[in-house]
């Protein structure tokens, strides 16, 4: 919803804000814009008058007639123009700050309430009470929260021995499937990015409190590889024949989880640093929702290969990310926690990020258009780790490794 959209569709814009449960005022934006435009009109009229006076002064000098009074008028007019230009700049800055908090549009297929659109797999049954991952991890000596706390305090995890190998195996497995089977190009980006990258992707300014910022350098730690992947092509123009473009990246991700204390604090469901494989696509607009469904299928395939029961949820507007027009969340069942854990969020941001990052495509008819950008987790760890060890635990306390990971685990089929 850029300024033009808001001007032309004020009631629709207000409806989108209400459905998303956002607080930004559309009326306030329109009022600032109206004052700005009137001020610009006044400035332009004064500029015309100043040009007329300047021309008249030049003519009088040629005719050798008095110009002192006109010079005084021109100087007073120039001072007035500078004052009004400052007012225009002030209103433009005010307007830009307000527009930075305006979210994306909502796709017509998005329901008003979260909706489960698919279930896959059977929830495992046990002859004993399954234990949560924090107990399993300690018994098997594959997760160490106490030593992680020595290094970084609470809300961090340390993987150890076969646990570290399992985490690494999951990352490599996901990357291999996406690269070798789904056609994504692997990127290994910096984990520190410039502030503009976070604005372009939609993380700033809204989520500033959720991220870690470097005090003495112009960087933030990335909360997801979506940030660098979206910005790979900032201020660039694709040829239509080069789209779609698929990228994947493994990175550590850093989130403050501000405001989430007291919720999911035990174990490693909500931690400040975690591993994730991210997917990003650049497409022409008419193909973006087809590519959205393909991305969802790519992620689902991983979970099916890992034999993890999952469900797909189509999010309501109030639950979607600020920059998203339509989002699926995929949740896996974790038997020890007795909970559905989100392991992937798959979003079509349409041209929201492309407008901020100035990423366009030159169509075959030579016209320029903003691309559509999609992103998805493929997959997020360590919640996959949690589901794997909790769902595959045995009566003797051991954990079976899914067959698809045996080669990545060096032939290890069981942790005991």
Q: Model confidence over 393-416: pLDDT tens digits?
A: 999 999 999 999 999 999 999 999
Q: Which two tokens stand for residue 28?
A: 């306030």
Per-residue confidence (pLDDT) for residue 259, from 0 to 100: 61
> Would you kindly state where each structural domain of the chain is located, as residue ranges?
3-99, 115-415
Average pLDDT, the chain: 95
67: pLDDT confidence band, cut at 50, 70 and 90?
confident
Contacts of range 287-294, beta carbons closer than 8 Å, 24 or more positions apart: 287/243, 287/244, 287/372, 288/348, 288/350, 288/372, 288/374, 289/107, 289/326, 289/348, 291/244, 291/348, 291/374, 292/326, 292/346, 292/348, 292/374
Q: Model confidence over 245-269: pLDDT tens digits?
A: 999 999 999 999 866 655 566 799 9
The domain 115-415 having CATH identifier 3.30.930.10: the answer here is: yes
Per-residue confidence (pLDDT) for residue 64, from 0 to 100: 85
Q: Which two tokens stand for residue 255?
A: 């989130």
Per-residue confidence (pLDDT) for residue 265, from 0 to 100: 64
The residue-averaged pLDDT of 281-296 equals 98
Q: Model confidence over 26-51: pLDDT tens digits?
A: 999 999 999 999 999 999 999 999 99
Write out the DSSP string of 194-232: EHHHHHHHT-TTTTGGGS-B-SSSSEEE-SSTHHHHHGG
Assign domain 3-99 to a CATH class.
Answer: mainly alpha
């Amino acid at each position: 919803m850029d300024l033009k959209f808001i001007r032309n569709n004020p009631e629709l814009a207000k409806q989108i804000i209400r459905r998303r449960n956002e607080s930004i005022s559309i009326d306030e934006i329109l009022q600032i814009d109206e004052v700005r435009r009137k001020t610009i009109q006044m400035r332009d009229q004064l500029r015309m008058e100043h040009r007329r006076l300047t021309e008249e002064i030049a003519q009088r000098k040629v005719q050798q007639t008095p110009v002192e009074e006109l010079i005084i008028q021109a100087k007073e007019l120039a001072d007035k123009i500078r004052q009004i230009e400052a007012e225009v700049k002030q209103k433009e800055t005010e307007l830009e700050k307000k527009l930075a908090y305006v979210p994306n549009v909502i796709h017509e297929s998005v329901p008003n309430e979260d909706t489960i659109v698919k279930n896959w797999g059977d929830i495992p049954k046990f002859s004993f009470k399954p234990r949560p991952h924090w107990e399993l991890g300690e018994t098997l000596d594959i997760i160490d929260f106490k030593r992680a706390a020595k290094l970084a305090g609470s809300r961090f995890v340390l993987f150890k021995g076969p646990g570290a190998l399992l985490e690494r195996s999951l990352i490599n497995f996901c990357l291999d499937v996406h690269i070798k089977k789904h056609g994504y190009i692997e990127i290994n980006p910096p984990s520190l990015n410039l502030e503009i990258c976070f604005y372009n992707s939609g993380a700033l300014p809204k989520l500033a409190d959720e991220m870690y910022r470097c005090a003495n350098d112009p960087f933030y730690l990335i909360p997801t590889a979506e940030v660098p992947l979206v910005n790979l092509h900032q201020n660039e123009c694709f040829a239509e024949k080069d789209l779609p473009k698929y990228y994947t990246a493994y990175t550590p991700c850093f989130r403050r989880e501000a405001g989430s204390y007291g919720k999911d604090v035990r174990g490693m469901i909500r931690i400040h640093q975690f591993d994730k494989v991210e997917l990003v696509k650049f497409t022409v607009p008419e193909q973006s929702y087809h590519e959205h469904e393909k991305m969802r299928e790519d992620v689902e395939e991983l979970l099916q290969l890992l034999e993890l029961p999952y469900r797909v949820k189509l999010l309501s507007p109030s639950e979607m990310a600020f920059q998203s027009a339509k989002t699926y969340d995929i949740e896996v069942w974790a038997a020890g926690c007795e909970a559905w854990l989100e392991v992937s969020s798959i979003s079509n941001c349409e041209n929201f990020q492309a407008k901020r990052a100035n990423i366009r495509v030159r169509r075959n008819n030579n016209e320029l258009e903003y691309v559509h950008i999609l992103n998805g987790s493929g997959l997020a760890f360590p919640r996959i780790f949690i589901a794997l060890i909790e769902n595959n635990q045995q009566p003797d306390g051991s954990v079976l490794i899914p067959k698809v990971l045996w080669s990545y685990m060096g032939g290890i089929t069981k942790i005991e």
